[in-house]
A and B are shown apart, each in its own frame.
Chain A
Amino acid sequence: MKKIYSVLVENRSGVLCKVAGLFSRRAFNINSLVVGETDDPTVSCMTIVSSGDDHTLEQIEKQLNKKLDVIKVKTFDEVSSVSRELMLVKVKYNRSNRRDIMEIAQVLQAQIVDMSRTQMMIQLCDVPERAELFLKMLQSVSIVEVARTGTVALSKCHDQEN
């Protein structure tokens, strides 16, 4: 089972190491981990996607809460949240497959953000599953490099903030 942890932490040096160290020390999985400053410069938000059985997922939350640099842990699944991933893919193209690549990009609402005579770079910003799908569709052409941000997520909007 997958779970998304949105972890608010003190924006101090070494905190990323402490949180990542917790995952390796206790043999928890990290599917992706994204860190960035929030609107409050003293607080960073880490979005961690992890997988495991119910017991492990509960332990992750408890152990995160126990860390002294962790301010708050929110967990959500894919249904109750909006999640996005940004992906950049550089591919080689030629006259014969150029049109195919552009069609795939168009269908999946990806943008071509850079180009040379032999390569193009495509940007996709979507839910993680669509990013996977996009990569799968591009498998027939030759991919040069891929960079992905990992998942960022927030819980869906409510009228009353909790």
Chain B
Amino acid sequence: MNGAQAMVKCLELEGVEMVFGYPGVAICPFYDSILDSDIRTILIRTEQNAAHAASGLARVTGKVGVCAVTSGPGATNLITGIATAFADSIPLVCITGQVNSELIGSDVFQEADITGAAESFVKYSYLVKNAEEIPRIFREAFYIANTGRKGPVLIDVPIDVQNTAIKKFSYPETVNLRTYKPTVKGHAVQIRKVMEQLQKAKRPVICAGGGVLLSDAQQMLRRFAHQYQVPVVTTMMGIGAMQTEDELYFGMVGNNGSPCANRAMNDADMIIMVGARVADRAVNQPEIITKDKVLVHMDVDPAEIGKNAGPTIPLVGDAKHIFENLMEIEISCDHGLWVQTLYEYSKTMQEKRRPNPDYIDPAAFIRKLSDRMQRDAIYVADVGQNQIWSCRNCIVRDGKFLTSGGMGTMGYSIPAAMGAKLGLPSRQVVAVCGDGSFQMSMMELATMRQHQVPVKIIVIANRYLGMVREYQNNTYKGRYSVVDLSGSPDLSLIAQAYGMRFLRLEKREDEDEMIGAFLQGDDSVLMECVIDPMDVVK
């Protein structure tokens, strides 16, 4: 057995079913060995999307997503994907080929210091110097990626290490790292304090972030909220933690969030932040959530607690465990009146959109579309105006809502949707992007075709980089700079070129019928939804 065979063996032992990637000389031994394995390989069309596809798969299956690319430009192309996963704490193992270890540092062909370059975007990285270390390193990498605060781990393997024979392959059963012992269980004293405060609170609110989904704590959150009648709002990454139609759910917070959710946060006397970073887009004035309020901050990463807002009760641990522990303490409380107040707000504080009646209203369209999707469908939003319309209007039931929240990486939706569909083939998967983000990833239509991945794609087309245009309109008095997307291709021809069904929606009266046609069957379909070029999110 050589190093490359050992790498593949490790992936098999970790239960990896699929590797996304792009070969090159430095990773060829690995791609040669994988031919002898049942692991499926997906040839992506640019390396960045390998990480996004692995991220989509990881987010719907809860498993670690794996990608493997070559050295030099292959590895550097991957960085945006790694950084995107890092910002949203998505577990990935990213394997890069590296030049011969004796040549490292001499600037040979396709050499890049990828462990150095990616350092600030990875949870951890390895440069493998000895093939004998491969089993231990892979075992650790998968453990690190998918425990504690999850995130991407990079393994850089020089080609000579992949080709070196190893004496004995033994896969470690356990991982024992003296530097890494994530705190999963919450501190009992703190847990009791939370429940004491909840009993006293008149107007408590739970603000759920992506951490709830990452620890698969949605059911626990819902049970907890209903048991004590605590209203719930989410961050962008937390969308789907509650079902949209749950009577205790009041929408997304933040400067692009729902007015009612923000009002709930402002009026609350107790905020329970769970699995959320208190990032600027969600809470742009952290002093508001700490002043005159009890702030409970629960997170698996102690460094997030107190980073942006000083909590009254810090609580380190995994969301699922914490909710279980909280439920063990019985209290009696009644927040019915507060919930009633929020109902009133939600009725009166609707966002005021004035859509142009001559065009499709993207907000209403997304509501209708998501309402008619299968109950457990996966909705992947891209970045831009389409993301904001999606966040505010997408109805999530038993499925998932995926988007690049922290990094805001355009072009995320198509590869991530593809990864999601490959991870859960029985689910309906819909990617919604703008015409800018579509063109950043449309090369992956070939990947979808080659590997028969039936993803349904909607392009909300306004022939502008709409989010930036809107910003320039508000901030630079309408001086539009480099946001005009004329020259974009005819999408019907693109669909034809890639063998996809195509629909173009332009008139409101066609909406219902077109949505029906779009969602019908389990095939790849591209739908262009033409909107007013001047439409705005605010």
Chain A interface (Cβ < 8 Å from any Cβ of B)? 10, 14, 17-18, 21, 25, 55, 58-59, 62-63, 65-71
Whole-angstrom distance between the alpha carbons of A100 and B284 in the complex?
60
Contacts of A71 in B (CB 8 A): 178-179
Whole-angstrom distance between the alpha carbons of A71 and B180 in the complex?
8
Q: Mark B101-136, 1 if CB is under 8 A from A, else 0.
A: 000000000000001100110011001000000000
Interchain pairs with CB closer than 8 A, number: 36
Which residue of the partner chain B has the closest CB to A13? B127
B115 A70 Cβ-Cβ under 8 A: no
- For residue B482, CB closer than 8 A to chain A, the reply is no
Contacts of B115 in A (CB 8 A): 14
Whole-angstrom distance between the alpha carbons of A63 and B304 in the complex?
9
B319 shortest CB reach to chain A, Å = 18
Whole-angstrom distance between the alpha carbons of A69 and B144 in the complex?
12
A68 B123 Cβ-Cβ under 8 A: yes
B303 A68 Cβ-Cβ under 8 A: no
- For residue B329, CB closer than 8 A to chain A, the reply is no
11 contacts between A and B (CB under 8 A): A14-B115, A14-B116, A18-B119, A25-B120, A59-B306, A59-B307, A62-B306, A65-B302, A67-B179, A70-B179, A71-B178
A63 B124 Cβ-Cβ under 8 A: no
A68 B301 Cβ-Cβ under 8 A: no
B179 A21 Cβ-Cβ under 8 A: no
Interface of A is mostly: helix
Closest 4 CB pairs between A and B?
A62-B303, A68-B124, A25-B120, A66-B303
Contacts of A59 in B (CB 8 A): 303, 306-307
Instruction: Given A58-B306, A62-B303, verify A68-B120 contact (CB < 8 Å).
Output: no
B116 A68 Cβ-Cβ under 8 A: no
Q: Mark B301-335, 1 if CB is under 8 A from A, else 0.
A: 11100110000000000000000000000000000
Contacts of A18 in B (CB 8 A): 119
Contacts of A14 in B (CB 8 A): 115-116, 127
Whole-angstrom distance between the alpha carbons of A50 and B373 in the complex?
54
Which residue of the partner chain A has the closest CB to B123? A68
Selected from A17, A21, A63, A69, the residue in CB contact (under 8 A) with B303 is A63
Whole-angstrom distance between the alpha carbons of A63 and B302 in the complex?
9
Contacts of B177 in A (CB 8 A): 68
Contacts of B303 in A (CB 8 A): 59, 62-63, 65-66
Whole-angstrom distance between the alpha carbons of A94 and B115 in the complex?
53
Whole-angstrom distance between the alpha carbons of A100 and B174 in the complex?
66
B302 A21 Cβ-Cβ under 8 A: no
Q: Mark B167-188, 1 if CB is under 8 A from A, else 0.
A: 0000000000111100000000
Which residue of the partner chain A has the closest CB to B116? A17
Apart from A14-B116, A17-B116, A59-B303, list 19 A-B contacts with CB within 8 A: A14-B127, A17-B119, A18-B119, A21-B119, A25-B120, A55-B306, A62-B302, A62-B303, A62-B306, A62-B307, A63-B303, A65-B303, A66-B302, A68-B123, A68-B124, A68-B144, A68-B179, A68-B180, A69-B179
Which residue of the partner chain B has the closest CB to A22? B120
Which residue of the partner chain A has the closest CB to B119? A21
Q: Mark B273-309, 1 if CB is under 8 A from A, else 0.
A: 0000000000000000000000000000111001100
Whole-angstrom distance between the alpha carbons of A68 and B124 in the complex?
7
B146 shortest CB reach to chain A, Å = 14
Which residue of the partner chain A has the closest CB to B307? A59
A21 B120 Cβ-Cβ under 8 A: yes
Which residues of B in the span 8-46 have a Cβ within 8 Å of any Cβ on A? none
Whole-angstrom distance between the alpha carbons of A67 and B301 in the complex?
12
